[in-house]
């Protein structure tokens, strides 16, 4: 195992402590560990991080193998997921944050049912139009709700969005307010959480 220099260890621990002080108690901190070494992940774990986000399944599987001695890690898939990797995602991930269309949701549901698993998922919406982003428009999601509600092997936790680059702070805030409003609308009119 690579020995992390004291200054690096201290910096990781200090950064995590500083971030946690700014968070509300009900906020979950997910460390995006894609392209990060296992040694740095161990340091983050030792500083209290239990949630790690990956966007490449093969890389995540290799890290899981090397970190299997650590208890209570929750693995989050945070990138675009291809349907042909649905089985591996269900087998290895606790959370899938980027369920961006009905076919993917149905594929994950089928695989979860076969494996007797119930992964937590977030539905990815495009609250602002962006041809470079995946996800449902609000209208598309509303149209597919009956089919989504039938995906009973998925534990749908909520919505997520990735905003276009170059927005002002006000535009970012307004977009997330729209996501929250839409989530509240879903809570009132559907069985989804």
**Neighbouring C-beta atoms of residue 7, cutoff 10 Å:** 8
- The answer to whether position 87 is within a domain reads yes
For the chain, the straight-line distance linking the first and the last C-alpha, in angstroms and rounded, comes to 42
pLDDT at site 3: 47
- The answer to whether position 114 is within a domain reads yes
pLDDT at 5 over 70: no
The domain of 100 spans: 6-189
> For residue 65, what is the domain's CATH number?
3.20.20.10
- The answer to whether position 88 is within a domain reads yes
Q: How many domains does the chain have?
A: 1
Q: What is the pTM of this model?
A: 0.87
- The answer to whether position 148 is within a domain reads yes
Contact 76, 34 (CB under 8 A): no
**At 133, phi and psi to the nearest 5?**
-115, 150
- Per-residue pLDDT tens over the stretch 106-163: 999 999 999 999 999 999 999 998 888 899 999 999 999 999 999 999 999 999 999 9
- The answer to whether position 175 is within a domain reads yes
Nearest to 120 by CA among 137, 99, 141, 102: 99
- Per-residue pLDDT tens over the stretch 23-49: 888 888 899 999 999 999 999 999 999
pLDDT at 6 over 50: no
- The answer to whether position 1 is within a domain reads no
At which residue do the structure tokens 């990797």 appear? 85
- The answer to whether position 24 is within a domain reads yes
- The answer to whether position 120 is within a domain reads yes
């Amino acid at each position: 195992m690579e020995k992390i220099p004291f200054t690096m260890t201290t910096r990781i621990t200090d950064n995590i402590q500083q971030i946690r002080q700014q968070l509300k108690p009900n906020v979950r901190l997910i460390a995006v560990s894609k392209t990060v070494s296992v040694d740095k992940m161990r340091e983050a774990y030792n500083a209290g991080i239990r949630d790690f986000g990956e966007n490449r399944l093969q890389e995540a599987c290799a890290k899981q193998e090397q970190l299997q001695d650590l208890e209570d890690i929750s693995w989050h898939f945070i990138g675009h997921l291809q349907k042909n990797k649905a089985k591996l995602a269900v087998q290895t991930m606790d959370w899938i944050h980027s369920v961006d269309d009905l076919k993917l949701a149905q594929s994950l549901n089928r695989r979860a049912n076969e494996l007797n698993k119930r992964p937590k998922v977030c539905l990815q919406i495009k609250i602002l139009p962006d041809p470079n982003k995946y996800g449902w428009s609000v209208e598309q999601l509303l149209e597919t709700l009956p089919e989504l509600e039938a995906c009973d092997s998925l534990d749908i936790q909520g919505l997520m969005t990735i905003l276009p680059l170059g927005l002002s702070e006000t535009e970012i805030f307004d977009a997330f307010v729209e996501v929250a409003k839409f989530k509240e609308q879903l809570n009132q009119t559907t069985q989804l959480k």
